[in-house]
Structure 1
Amino acid sequence: MTGPVLVTGAAGRIGTVLRGGLPERGWAVRSLDVVAVPEPRPGEEHLVADATDLAAMTGAARGASAVVHLAGIAGESTWAAISHANIEGTYCALEAARRAGVPRVVLASSNHASGWTERPDGGLLREEDAPPRPDTYYGVSKVAMEALGSLYADRYGLDVVCLRIGSAFAEPTTTRQLSTWLSPADTVALVDAALRAPSPGFRVVWGVSDNTRRWWDLSAAEALGYRPTDDAEGYAAALVAAHGEPDLADPVHRRVGGEYTTADFDAEHFTA
């Protein structure tokens, strides 16, 4: 593919990782956010715009080889905020790609699209065994993201890869994240694979590192060319010493969505 990769939400945590890592893999980056990115990289195009502004998004997408859509609210919020930023934003990303003739879109979905799904008794959880079971309004927005991606793949022929991202942080900070961590290096590797895979059509894949304790299957991501190199187990001794071994009967460790499925989280976030 020729042309830069348009990365929305480029000033955020994952966007910052991609702005540094994708050029190392040969991609030119055109970044977009509602705020200016700190310290743009050499050769990086940067646009300040709202990802829910379809006209601005269409202009930003022109000449791009792909869109990586990260923009939105990265956690639970009110329905009004979530539906506008995350659902309207996803529509704008896909419609802008269609109008601008961009053939591929990579969407930052989330494990919370299937948050109520439980850990299997044995083996790894495949994407097809984790249908939409959103745990929050945020999770609903990711189900909508995947549905819109499917629509645009089937109706308009776009290649759309949805990444059900786990815990994308510099390092794991909880015992749950020993299973769900996605390292910065593997974040770049996963997005790179989603950008390069020949004619993927519509795909939904888990986004985690090759963690010893992971219970999400990576076969679908590996079929795209993803080759993770990191494992959260290197942090296990310190985290277990601080917090104890994970109780697999606890919803935090038993369900895909973790704490988002607990009663305390519900009381805290759904009373407004």
Structure 2
Amino acid sequence: MKVLLTGAAGSIGQVVSLGLVDRGHEVVGLDLARTPDGFDGTWHTVDCVDPDAVADAVGAQPLDAVVHLASHPDEASLPATLASHVITTAALLDAMVEHQVDRIVYASSNHAVGRTPRTHLLGIDARPRPDTFYGVGKVAAEALLSLYADRHGIDAIACRIGSFLPEPASVRHLSTWLSHDDCVRMVDAALTAPAPGFAMIYGISANTRAWWDLTPGRELGYHPRDDAEEFAGRVAPAPADADEAAYVGGPFALPAFHRSALDRTGE
């Protein structure tokens, strides 16, 4: 498949880019940053909040799918968050409709349900309970994907990513870890699953202590192979572990991330 990968210069983007190429896909990169070392392909230096620039990039070559990883990866004001997660997704979806690209894989987040108390294995049928404005942005982007799937017949897969790291660094990560290799497996499965329509899956590895149900991903062909338990002996307990285990969003659900929705200046 020929895939436009947004956020291709980021930490996830570079891993996914190399992994998709290894699996026979052709990757077209798009990012605010310039082409990273080692990328061998077409590159667009574009801000995804610019709908005209996004449309030009999507229409510059025939595409089979879009993988949307570009966004601000941390908490911000509500307007900035909506621009980063929702406006960018809208620009891509409109461009896809215009240029007849019928599949998008979206990097959502566990923070879309991060305020859910951790009491049981959480499925995709749980109601959205964002823990931050970052989580709100992910929920809103998922809703937009659902709308375009219904309205235009686009196949849209939202991957609620856990903790994307080379290896777990905390007790929480033993439940939420997504390995580099499993991340590529997940995206590849989402790209190639037959006619998924709108779907949500949890993006974690096959962790023994998993907090989220991997069944929906497996039904789409995502079969993770790694387990954070392999690293359990290297992860030392920490005073914050109990607080981070109270909600599935971990520290994002704690008071340190509380802030006003709107930045007010001049007062």
The interval holding the TM-score normalised by the smaller chain is: over 0.9
Asked if 1:45 corresponds to 2:42, the answer is: yes
Alignment check: 8 A CA contact 1:40 1:46 kept? no
Cα gap change, 1:57 to 1:271, in 2 (>3 Å): closer
- Equivalent in the alignment of 2:196: 200
- Equivalent in the alignment of 1:107: 106
- Equivalent in the alignment of 1:255: 247
RMSD: 1.9
Alignment check: 8 A CA contact 1:8 1:31 kept? yes
Asked if 1:94 corresponds to 2:93, the answer is: yes
TM-superposed deviation, 1:30: 0.2
Q: Deviations over 1:53-79 (max 9, x none)?
A: 112212222311100011111110122
Q: Distance in 2 between matches of 1:185 and 1:119?
A: 27
Secondary structure of 1:127's partner?
coil
TM-score of the pair, normalised by structure 2 = 0.93
Q: Distance in 1 between matches of 2:188 and 2:205?
A: 14
Alignment check: 8 A CA contact 1:169 1:184 kept? yes
TM-superposed deviation, 1:215: 1.8
Alignment check: 8 A CA contact 1:76 1:269 kept? no
- 5+ residue gaps, structure 2: none
Alignment check: 8 A CA contact 2:131 2:252 kept? yes
Q: Distance in 1 between matches of 2:127 and 2:259?
A: 25
TM-score of the pair, normalised by structure 1 = 0.91
Asked if 1:152 corresponds to 2:148, the answer is: yes
Deviates more, 1:80-89 or 1:204-213: 80-89
Alignment check: 8 A CA contact 1:17 1:184 kept? yes
Describe how 1:212-251 pairs up with structure 2 within 5 A.
212-240=208-236, 242-243=237-238, 246-247=241-242, 250=243
TM-superposed deviation, 1:175: 1.0
Which runs of structure 1 show a deviation greater than 4 angstroms over 4 or more consecutive aligned residues?
Answer: 267-272
Describe how 1:169-188 pairs up with structure 2 within 5 A.
169-188=165-184
Secondary structure of 2:235's partner?
helix
Asked if 1:127 corresponds to 2:102, the answer is: no
Q: Deviations over 1:106-138 (max 9, x none)?
A: 1111011111112234xx21110x211111111
Between the aligned residues of both structures, percent identity stands at: 45
TM-superposed deviation, 1:244: 7.4
Cα gap change, 1:6 to 1:271, in 2 (>3 Å): closer
Q: Distance in 1 between matches of 2:149 and 2:137?
A: 18
Cα gap change, 1:271 to 1:256, in 2 (>3 Å): farther
Q: What is the count of residue pairs matched by the alignment? A: 262
Bigger proportion of residues as helix: 1
- Equivalent in the alignment of 1:11: 9
